[in-house]
Amino acid sequence: MPSGPGAKILLRLGELTADEVARRLEPLFPALDEAGREISLDIYRRLARGAPVVLCEAAAARVRKWPGVYYDSRGRIVGYWGLSLAPMRHRLRIGARELFAWCAWDTLFLPAVLGTRIEVESERVHLVVSPEKVEAADPPGLLVSFVVPSGEGVRADIITSFCHHVHFYTSETAEKPPGAFLLSLAEAFEVGRLLNRRRYGAAL
C-alpha cells in the first residue's frame, strides 16, 4: 500500500485519504478549545509518569463530561483515550516505566502526544515508535485493522466500539473484525499524526 498524506485507503464507503479518515475520527473525540487541549495533554503526560492523575476541581468538572476517561475507586484517572495504567495487551515502555495501550493504533499516535520514544510489545509484535515515525517493526510488513465507529458507539464505550476491532496483523488475508479495513503501519501512523495535528495543533 502507498503511504503518506495523499495515500488512498480502501474503505467499504469508497477510497479515502489518511486526512479524510482523521477528519471522520475527530468528531468522535471531545472537542478541545485551548484550555481543553492543555488539560488533555496534561492528563496524558502525567499518566505517562506511571501514577493515577488527580485534577484540580475546575479541570475535573470539565473532564467528567468527556467519554474515554476511566477512574479508580478513589476517583483518580487511570485510563485516558488510549493510555492505561492497568495491564492490557499492548505493553509500552518509556524508559524504565511500563504502561499500556488500549489498541494497536494507540501505540502509533501516543508517542507524539507524550513527546517521547516508546517501545511496544504486543504478543509477538515489537515496535519502536518515535513522535516522528515508526523506527522499527518486528515482524516486518505489519498491518493494523481499523474502523470508524459512530459517535453513539464511542460515547457508550470507546473500548468495545473501537479498540476491540483494532489489532496488528501480519497478512492481508487474515480474518478481520466485521466492518474493519487494513492499514499499513505507515498509514496508521499517518492517520494518528494528522488527527493529533487537528486536535492539538501547535500545542504538541
Q: 110, 117 in Cβ contact below 8 A?
A: no
Instruction: Give the active site residue among 56, 72, 106, 157.
Output: 106
Q: 130, 117 in Cβ contact below 8 A?
A: yes
* Catalytic residue check, 56: no
DSSP-derived secondary structure letter, 49? T
Q: Which residue has the cell 515489537?
A: 126
CA distance 6 to 2: 9
Spatial neighbors of 118 by CB under 8 A, at least 6 apart, are 92, 93, 94, 107, 110, 111, 128, 129, 130
* Catalytic residue check, 103: yes
Q: Which residue has the cell 488512498?
A: 8
Instruction: Give the active site residue among 19, 72, 103, 157.
Output: 103
Angle between helix 185-200 and 34-47 (nearest 10): 130
* Catalytic residue check, 163: yes
Instruction: Give the active site residue among 19, 56, 157, 163.
Output: 163
| C-alpha closest to that of 108 among 164, 184, 161, 159 | 184
- Residues with a known catalytic role: 103, 106, 163
